Structures are given as structure tokens and as C-alpha cells.
Amino acid sequence: MRLVAFHYAGEKDPIVFINPEQVVAVRAFTSSTHIYVSVLQKDGGPSYYPVRESLDEVVALLTGHL
């Protein structure tokens, strides 16, 4: 299993590791990029991680095309 490190877009800016095989979508917002994963939240809604990297950086890191 390959894990990719991202800077979580939270108050303390911790690192979050994401398995690229579980990613189903990536979407850019003004202050963060959301990485959506295949596991749903308890209420059935989509699970995502807001990260500080740009959309292009996220895609490059997830695909291994740096």
C-alpha cells in the first residue's frame, strides 16, 4: 500500500497520509483542495480531506507524476 503525505487544512496544519487507491475525486476550492475517498461518513455523505496543496500538486502526488 502506497501512502501520500498532505498538509491537512486545519488549525494546526498536521500531516495526513492518504492511500491513492481509495481516492474517488479531487476538487479545488479557494483556500484548500478536497480529496474525496471511497469510505462514506456515518450519515452516508462523502468523506473528504481538505488539504493545503493545490489541485495540480494533489493530482501529481496521487498519480506519482511529480
Which positions ≥6 away from 61 have C-beta within 8 Å? 4, 6, 53
Break the chain into its structural domains and give their ranges: 4-63
Tens of pLDDT, residues 11-56: 787 999 999 999 999 999 999 999 999 988 889 888 999 999 999 9
Cα–Cα dist 46/42, whole Å: 9
Check pLDDT > 80 for residue 64: yes
Cα–Cα dist 12/61, whole Å: 22
Task: Identify whether the C-beta of residue 61 lies closer than 8 Å to the C-beta of residue 51.
Answer: no
**Confidence at residue 45, expressed as pLDDT on a 0 to 100 scale:** 86
CB atoms within 10 A of CB 35: 25
Between 1 and 18, the more confident residue is 18
**Confidence at residue 10, expressed as pLDDT on a 0 to 100 scale:** 82
**Confidence at residue 13, expressed as pLDDT on a 0 to 100 scale:** 72
